[in-house]
Structure 1
Amino acid sequence: MGFRRGWTILAASSTIALALAGCTNNNAAPSDSPASPAPSASATSSASPNDSNAELDKLGLDSNLKFKETRKITVEVYDRGNDGGSKPEDNFYTQYIKDGMLRDHNVEVTFVPVPRWTEGEVINNLLAANQAPDIGVTYDYATIQTYANMGGILDLAPLVEDNKAILPNLWGYLTETNINWDKDPSTGTLWALEARLNTLNRINTFVREDWLKKLNLPAPTSLQEFEDMLVAFKDNASTLLGSDADKMIPFSTSFDIGWRADHLTASFVPNDITDRDIFIHDFDDRHLLYPNYKEGIRVLNKWYNEDLIWKDFPLYPAGDQTEDNLMKAGYVGAFIHNWDYPYRNGNDSIHASLQKLVGPDAAYIAIEPFANDAGDYKKFLSGPVDRKVFFPASNKEPVASMLYLDWISELDNRVFLQFGEEGVTHEKMPDGSLATIAATGEKIMNSPANIDYTITSNGLDLGDPDLTVKSMANGYAGVDSRFIVTANQITTHEGRIGKNANVGAIQAEDGQGQALKEKRDTFLNKAVTASVDKFDSVYDAGMKDYLNSGGQAIIDERTSAWEKYFGNETMLK
C-alpha cells in the first residue's frame, strides 16, 4: 500500500504468476527455540568473502563473518492484530531468527512491532521522534524520501557496494534490479532496497458459485452481465437466503475503494494508455489519476443507489472484520479483493466458514467480467518490487543490519520461515513439493508464508520454479485446487507489468503520501455514496481538492522529470 515512485508500466503479458500460500491463525504460546536447518551459506567457509582478514577486522568480523563483540540491532515487524495470533515480536519464528543471527553473526536481534494497518503513520511518528528501528519496512516510499531529505535516512549505496563480498545472499536474491531500483540517477543515493515480489498476483473478482448455479446464471463476462447478476441476487434474495433475505448484499466493498474496485475501474482506462501517462500519474497506486477512472466510480455510485452495494462499507476501518464476517455468514454475493482472499487462513477462511455454515457447495470463485475498450481484461500489475527496506539515520550498526538482510535472504532461512518444521507445519510430498499443515499452538504464522519476517521476499520461493508452483497449489488446506488454479490464472491474465522508469526523487511527493491517500479514500467514499444527481459535483470537488493539495504539483514535476530523461518518447524501450 502507499504511494509508489519511479516506475512505469510496459508491455502486456499473460504471465501466470506464482502465489502465496494461506496460513492459519490459531492460538500461540511460543516457548522453546525452533529447530534450525543447516547453518546458512553466509556462515560457512564456502561463502566466505575474498577480503583479507585485515579488511574484515576493520568491520569487527572474524573469518566466519561473526562479530568479535556482540552487536545489537532492532527490526520492525508488522503487528496485524490477528485474533488468536502470536505476539509478532516474540514467537517461534522470531526465536528462530534470533538464534540464527546470534549463531551465525553474533548479532542480538530485537523485534519492534508496528501496527500493519496504520504503518505509514506510525513509521512517520517513529522517524520524527528519532526512535525508528534500525531496520525499517514500509510500502510508502514517499515517507522514506521525506525523511531522507531531512537527513533522517542512511544512504544504502555505499553499504551495499562496499560490503558486497559479505552479502552474497542479498545480492544473489535481490540482484542488481531490486537493490538499485530506487537509486537516484543523478546523485547516486539509495534510500531503500526493494524487496523481491515473487508473484505478480494482485486482486480478483469473486462471486458465489453456488448462487449462480441456483439461479441458473452463467459466470458474467462483461460489465452488463455482472450488473445483471447483482440485480438477480437482489431480486432473488428470498430464494438465496430464505429468512435472512433482508441481509442480502449483492456486492461488497470497503472504505479503500481504489484497491477494492481496481479491476472495474481499470476496465475504463483506454487500452492505448502510454508509458509516459502512466508514469506521470502513477504515484497513486490505486490508479486514481488514470484517464477515465471516474467512469468506473460512476458505476459504483449507480449500484449503491440501486441497493446493490453494502450500505455500511465506509464505516469500517482497515483491519475490521465486519465485512469478512458477512461473507462468512453467506450474505455477500460478489466482491473484489486480494487474489486469493476467500481461501486464506485455513479453518478460519471465508471459504471454510461458508462450507460449515451454508453447505459443501457454498463457495466463491474468481471470474473475469470487466473488459476494456479493446476487449482486453487488462490488469495493471506491479513490477517485481514490494516493500521498501531502509535504515534510519539513528542506526548505529549498519553492517550488522546488512548482515541481517543477507541472512534473511538466504534460501534455507527463507524456506524455513515460509513453511516451518517438516511434519509439524508442512509435509514433503512425493514429488518434492511442500504442503502446509494447519498450524496450532506456537507454530502458527501471523502473515501468509511469514512475509512479515521474510522482509526481502514476498511470495513462495523454494529455489526451484517447478517445486514452488506445486507447493503453492498445495497451500490451501480444505480448498478444492480448481478454485486456486482459476484465481491464479485470472489475476494476471492480460496484465500490463510495471517496469522501472527511475528519474530520481520527485520532491513534490515529500510528505504527501499519507495525506493524499486519506483525501483519495475520503472523496471516493463520498462519491460512491452520493445521490446520482450529485455524483459529478462531489467527485469533481474531491478531485480538485486532491490536486490542489499536492497532487498537481507531483504531476507537473513528474512530467518535467520524464521529459528530462526520456524527451518526447511516450513508450519505454
Structure 2
Amino acid sequence: MKKTISIIMAVAMSAMLFSGCKKNTAETPSTTPDAGTKTEENAEIVNGRFTTTRKITVEVYDRGNEGGSKPEDNFFTNYIKEGMLRDHNVEVTFVPVPRWTEVEQINNLLAAGTAPDIAVTYSYPTVQTYAKMGGVLDLAPLIEKYKDLLPNLTGLLTETNINYNKDPETGTIWAIEARLANQARTNVFVREDWLKKLNIPEPTTLEEFEAMLKAFKDNASLLLGADADKMVPFSTSYDIGWRADHLLASFVPSTITEKEKYIYGFDDRKLLFPGIKEGVRKLNQWYNEGLIWKDFPMYPAGDKTEDNMMKAGYVGAFIHNWDYPYRDGENSINNSIKRVAGEDAAYIAISPFKNDAGKYAKFLPDPVDRKIFFPSTNKEPLASLLYLDWISKLENHMFLQIGEEGVNHEKTADGAIKMLSATGDKIMNSPSNIDYTITLNGLDLGDKELTLKSMALSYVGVDAKYIQKAYDASILDGVFTEKVNAGAIQAEEGMGPALNEKRDTLLTQAVAAPANKFDSVFDSGLNDYLNSGGQAIIDERTAAYEKVMGK
C-alpha cells in the first residue's frame, strides 16, 4: 500500500509537472544533418563535434558493492567523460540510482522533474506511464532525423532493438532496447566438493535433486563440522520467481501456447503461467522439511546476508543468475569458499529439472535488455543520442568491458582476453561494466569466437571449465516466446511496481506457509494480485492479441 500510494503521488506530481507541455518530442531540424549543418536550435556540429559545449546527465546504477568505487566518479566514468568531450564536445555527469530500488527511484526523479537526460530501467510500464503524461520524448523522429550521425548505435542495436517498442498504430518509440549479447539467464548451482564427499552423482531429475538436499541436511556435521547448525541445503530470497526459475519452469506444461505466453507474460517471473503453483508447492514442501533457508523472507533486496552465507561455505545449492558465483573477482562466492573450505570447494551448474516432455525447459529472453529513454526534461536530445552512439562504438565498449591490459585483463597466446582482479579506482562495479555499456549487456569483442573464448576467461580465479559448463546449462533446451507487437496495454501503465510487490509477497508467504495452509495462502494472494490490476491486464492483452493475431 505504501508503494502504491507513492506511485499515485508520483503520477499526480508528474501530471502537474508536464501539464504545460504541448508536445513530447524534441525540436527537430528540417534538413538531414551533416558536418557543419545546424542540427537543432543553437547547436552546430562540425566534424562530429558541437561548436559550443553541451551538457548532459546520465543514469548509472549504484549496486552498493563492498570495496567498489563510486559509480558516478571513477576511472571508467572519467574515460567516458574525456572521450565525449574530445569527440563530441559534450560534458557528461553521472547520476547514481540504487540498483535494487531503481523503479521507485526513477519514478521519484521523473515526478520531481529531475530525472537524468538519459534514463535506464528494466520496467517498460514505468516508461509508458510517464510517456502518456508527456514526460518522455518520442525517440522515433529523433533517430530518423539523426540516423546518419548514429552509425554505431544503429549498427549495434539493429532495427530489431531500436523498433522493439514501436507502437504499431502511432509509430512512437518511448524507449529503445539495449542489446542482450548473451541470452543465458539463470542456473542451478550445487557444491561440487559436497557431491564428491558424499559420493553423489550430479542430479539430473527433481527426485535426485531433492534426495541430494536431504543428504546435505543429514550429513551437516560431516560437511560443516562445528558449523553444522549453519547448514542451508537450498537457499533462496524474497524474489522467488527469479530465484526458483528453473524449478518453476519445469512445472509449466510443454503444451503452453504462444497466446498464453503473451497474455500472461507481462509478469516477467511467469507467476500466471499454468503449473507455477505446483512448483511453488514443491518449494513449500522443502521449506517445511527444513531444506530451505528458513530466514529468507526477512532480508530485502540488496541485502548481503545470503551471499555471505555462501561465501562462508554454509549453502549447498541455489538458483541465481547464470554466472552468479563466479562474479566479483577475488571477492566472488567461488573464490571466497576456497579460502574457507579448501581449493576443492566450488559451485557447479547442473540441469536437474525436466518438464512433462522430458526437456530441461528454460524460458529464455529476446535479445533485449534495459529500456533506454529520454525524459521530456532532456534539453539536449542530440547530445544524448551521440552519447549512446559513442558507448556503442566497438573500441569504446570494448575498453569499458575489459579495461586496461595488465591491470584489468591480459591477452592469452591465442588472443583471448583473461580478466584480472583490479583494485582501487579501476575496479568494475558490475560484470563487464554493464552499468556503463547501457546499450549492451554481455561481452562483445567484435568476433564471436574470440568473445566466447574470452567469456570463459573473464572470471578471476575461476577455471574456464566452470564458465563453459554454466553457459551450456543455462541455455539447454531453451524456450523462446514469439514477439507480438499489439501496441500499448493501457491497464499495465503504472502497475508494474505494485503488482511486482504483490507477486513477491504472495510467493514468499506461500513458500513459508504451513503445509496445510499453502493453498489458502497462495490462492488468496493470487486473487489479490488479480483484483489489484492483474485481471484487467489479462483481459486487455487477450483482446489485443486476438485483434492482431486472431482467435
Q: Which of 178, 184, 192 is matched with 2:167 structurally?
A: 184
Flag the 1:498–1:462 CA change in 2: closer, same or farther, 3 A: farther
Q: Which residue of 1 aligns with 2:387?
A: 404
Instruction: Provide the C-alpha distance between the structure 1 equivalents of 2:382 and 2:96, rounded to a whole number of angstroms.
Output: 22
Task: Give how far 1:50 is off.
Answer: 7.8
Instruction: Provide the C-alpha distance between the structure 2 equivalents of 1:172 and 1:326, rounded to a whole number of angstroms.
Output: 43
Query: Is 1:207 the equivalent of 2:183?
Result: no
Task: For 1:499-518, list aligned pairs within 5 A.
Answer: 499-518=482-501
Q: Which residue of 1 aligns with 2:505?
A: 522
Q: Which of 249, 258, 265 is matched with 1:275 structurally?
A: 258
Instruction: Provide the C-alpha distance between the structure 1 equivalents of 2:40 and 2:532, rounded to a whole number of angstroms.
Output: 52
Q: Which residue of 2 aligns with 1:563?
A: 546
Q: Give the percent of matched residue pairs that are identical in Structure 1 and Structure 2.
A: 68
Task: Describe the superposition over 1:257-278 as per-residue Cα deviations: whole angstroms up to 9, x where unpaired.
Answer: 0000010000000011111100
Query: Is 1:554 the equivalent of 2:532?
Result: no
Q: Give yes or no for contact 2:33–2:39 (8 Å, CA) kept in 1.
A: no
Task: Give how far 1:522 is off.
Answer: 0.6
Task: Describe the superposition over 1:517-570 as per-residue Cα deviations: whole angstroms up to 9, x where unpaired.
Answer: 0000011111001110000000000000000000000001000110111112xx
Query: Aligned residues, how many?
Result: 520
TM superposition score normalised by structure 1: 0.89
Task: Give how far 1:185 is off.
Answer: 0.3
Q: Which of 342, 345, 356 is matched with 1:373 structurally?
A: 356
Q: Which of 61, 86, 90 is matched with 1:78 structurally?
A: 61
Task: For 1:380-391, list aligned pairs within 5 A.
Answer: 380-391=363-374
Task: Give how far 1:57 is off.
Answer: 7.8
Task: Give how far 1:61 is off.
Answer: 2.8
SS in 2 for 1:90: coil
Q: Which residue of 1 aligns with 2:90?
A: 107
Q: Give yes or no for contact 2:37–2:46 (8 Å, CA) kept in 1.
A: no
Higher relative contact order (CA 8 A, sep 6+): 1
Task: Give how far 1:52 is off.
Answer: 6.4
Query: Is 1:415 the equivalent of 2:398?
Result: yes
Q: Which residue of 1 aligns with 2:347?
A: 364
Q: Give yes or no for contact 2:35–2:45 (8 Å, CA) kept in 1.
A: no
SS in 1 for 2:189: strand
Q: Give yes or no for contact 1:461–1:468 (8 Å, CA) kept in 2.
A: yes
Query: Is 1:243 the equivalent of 2:230?
Result: no
- Paired AA for residue 81 in structure 1: G
Q: Which residue of 2 aligns with 1:20?
A: none
Instruction: Provide the C-alpha distance between the structure 1 equivalents of 2:436 and 2:67, rounded to a whole number of angstroms.
Output: 19
Q: Give yes or no for contact 1:77–1:111 (8 Å, CA) kept in 2.
A: yes
Q: Which residue of 1 aligns with 2:450?
A: 467
Task: Give how far 1:53 is off.
Answer: 3.5
- Paired AA for residue 165 in structure 1: D
- Paired AA for residue 73 in structure 2: D
Task: Give how far 1:500 is off.
Answer: 2.2
Q: Which residue of 2 aligns with 1:128?
A: 111
SS in 2 for 1:75: strand
Q: Which residue of 1 aligns with 2:470?
A: 487
Q: Which of 144, 147, 151 is matched with 1:168 structurally?
A: 151
SS in 2 for 1:163: helix
TM superposition score normalised by structure 2: 0.93
Instruction: Provide the C-alpha distance between the structure 2 equivalents of 1:330 and 1:83, rounded to a whole number of angstroms.
Output: 19
Instruction: List alignment gaps of at least 5 residues for structure 2.
Output: 1-31
Query: Is 1:51 the equivalent of 2:31?
Result: no
Task: Give how far 1:319 is off.
Answer: 1.2
Q: Give yes or no for contact 1:181–1:500 (8 Å, CA) kept in 2.
A: no
Flag the 1:126–1:56 CA change in 2: closer, same or farther, 3 A: closer
Instruction: Provide the C-alpha distance between the structure 2 equivalents of 1:445 and 1:499, rounded to a whole number of angstroms.
Output: 35
Task: For 1:31-42, list aligned pairs within 5 A.
Answer: none
Task: Give how far 1:63 is off.
Answer: 3.1
Instruction: Provide the C-alpha distance between the structure 2 equivalents of 1:112 and 1:186, rounded to a whole number of angstroms.
Output: 34
Q: Which residue of 1 aligns with 2:121?
A: 138
Task: Describe the superposition over 1:102-159 as per-residue Cα deviations: whole angstroms up to 9, x where unpaired.
Answer: 1111111110000000000000011111110000000010100000111110000001
Q: Which of 463, 468, 479 is matched with 1:496 structurally?
A: 479
Q: Give yes or no for contact 1:523–1:543 (8 Å, CA) kept in 2.
A: yes
SS in 1 for 2:94: strand
Q: Which residue of 1 aligns with 2:25?
A: none
Task: Give how far 1:55 is off.
Answer: 4.9
Q: Which residue of 2 aligns with 1:433?
A: 416
Instruction: List alignment gaps of at least 5 residues for structure 1.
Output: 1-48, 569-573
Instruction: Provide the C-alpha distance between the structure 1 equivalents of 2:432 and 2:481, rounded to a whole number of angstroms.
Output: 24
Instruction: Provide the C-alpha distance between the structure 1 equivalents of 2:33 and 2:55, rounded to a whole number of angstroms.
Output: 26
Instruction: Provide the C-alpha distance between the structure 2 equivalents of 1:54 and 1:462, rounded to a whole number of angstroms.
Output: 34
Q: Give yes or no for contact 1:56–1:63 (8 Å, CA) kept in 2.
A: no
Q: Give yes or no for contact 2:35–2:48 (8 Å, CA) kept in 1.
A: no
Instruction: Provide the C-alpha distance between the structure 2 equivalents of 1:311 and 1:380, rounded to a whole number of angstroms.
Output: 28
SS in 2 for 1:333: strand
Q: Which of 542, 548, 563 is matched with 2:525 structurally?
A: 542
Report runs of 4+ in structure 1 exceeding 6 Å deviation.
none
- Paired AA for residue 320 in structure 2: H
